[in-house]
Chains A and B, each alone.
Chain A
Amino acid sequence: MKNAHTWGAILAVVLASTTGDVLLSRAMKRVGDVGELWRRAGLVTVAGRILRNPSFLLGIFMMAVAFYSLLFALSWADVSLVAPASASLTFVANAIAARIFLHERVDHRRWMAALLVAGGVALLAA
């Protein structure tokens, strides 16, 4: 029962943070290189442009959902299981989501990285 709770919380973290990551990445690509923009237009412009972006705000909300799910999971199980398992599964889900929604070029190298991390996750949970 405790195990089912832990993995349920981990699944919630994965779904929420994948949605959040995709939204945040989309928002930041629209804003453009933050360092460059900061030097050119100042911090206020950078902050304003980020905070006015609807994808960013929705992304933050999804990250908050993921964060509280993570707190639940951490109160039930070891951090060296929960943190890598949820974050690495998120990474695999992200590779798929980034390809579909962000049109990123996920080449052999990146899929290879995804598989290695997935294997790593399986071992972490063993």
Chain B
Amino acid sequence: MTFRKYLVLAGVTLFAAIGDSFLARGMKQVGNVSLQRLPDIILTILNPWVALGILFLLGFFAAYMTALSWADLTYVLPATSLGYVLLALIAKFLLHEQVTTARWLGIGLISAGVGFVTQGPALSPGPPDRDDAPCVPKPVASRIKP
């Protein structure tokens, strides 16, 4: 793990939390979306907060894809879950939602989970299965394993 890779993980964390908050703010302005008027949900992207949220979530997605190209899914997800702490702070101070003691405790447990997983290796050892790996012909059966 290099400094640049930790920066990518930080990007995943920040962009996701900020994007979700903007979406929440926008959807509260839009109001309840009814199943009977499904096309309305497409129009929700016209709300500037929803649009800004989507922009941040695109940034999150680019960082997330980059992280997944060199780390396990079961490493990237918990390593970036500090975003929930950030999300709770944003929800409390900017969106003025109620964050109870129980929720704070839950956030604490999630943070502890982050601590656990980041102590370990980022990538499972195993044979490289990549497009740019040396081209060794493989039996077809081994490539279509579920």
Query: Given the complex, which residues of A lie within 8 Å of B142, measured CB to CB?
Result: none
User: Given A79-B24, A95-B74, A113-B78, A124–B130 Cβ distance below 8 Å?
Assistant: no
Are A124 and B107 touching (Cβ within 8 A)? yes
Are B84 and A84 touching (Cβ within 8 A)? yes
Are B31 and A110 touching (Cβ within 8 A)? no
Query: Given the complex, which residues of A lie within 8 Å of B33, measured CB to CB?
Result: 71-72, 75
B25–chain A nearest beta-carbon distance, Å = 8
Residue B14 CB within 8 A of the other chain: no
User: Given A75-B32, A80-B88, A109-B116, A28–B110 Cβ distance below 8 Å?
Assistant: no
Residue B134 CB within 8 A of the other chain: no
Residue B102 CB within 8 A of the other chain: yes
User: Given A32-B130, A117-B110, A88–B84 Cβ distance below 8 Å?
Assistant: yes
Among residues of B, the one whose C-beta sits closest to the C-beta of A5 is B35
Return the CB mask of A77-98 against B: 1 if under 8 Å, else 0. Answer: 0111001100110110011001
Which of B21, B73, B87, B102 is packed against the most chain A CB atoms within 10 Å? B73
Query: Given the complex, which residues of B lie within 8 Å of A71, measured CB to CB?
Result: 23, 27, 33, 41, 44
Query: Given the complex, which residues of A lie within 8 Å of B69, measured CB to CB?
Result: 28-29, 31-35
User: Given A79-B97, A98-B72, A123-B102, A113–B117 Cβ distance below 8 Å?
Assistant: yes
B18–chain A nearest beta-carbon distance, Å = 12
27 A–B contacts, CB within 8 A, in A order: A21-B73, A25-B68, A25-B73, A29-B129, A34-B65, A34-B66, A35-B69, A67-B57, A72-B33, A72-B41, A79-B91, A80-B99, A80-B103, A83-B20, A83-B84, A87-B81, A88-B110, A98-B73, A102-B72, A104-B73, A104-B124, A105-B72, A109-B120, A112-B116, A113-B78, A113-B113, A126-B106
Q: Which 4 pairs of residues, A with B, have the shortest CB-CB distance?
A: A123-B106, A79-B24, A120-B109, A116-B113
Q: What 13 new A-B contacts, CB under 8 Å, besides A25-B72, A35-B69, A78-B97? A: A24-B65, A71-B41, A72-B41, A76-B32, A80-B91, A80-B103, A88-B81, A91-B81, A109-B120, A110-B120, A113-B117, A117-B81, A117-B113
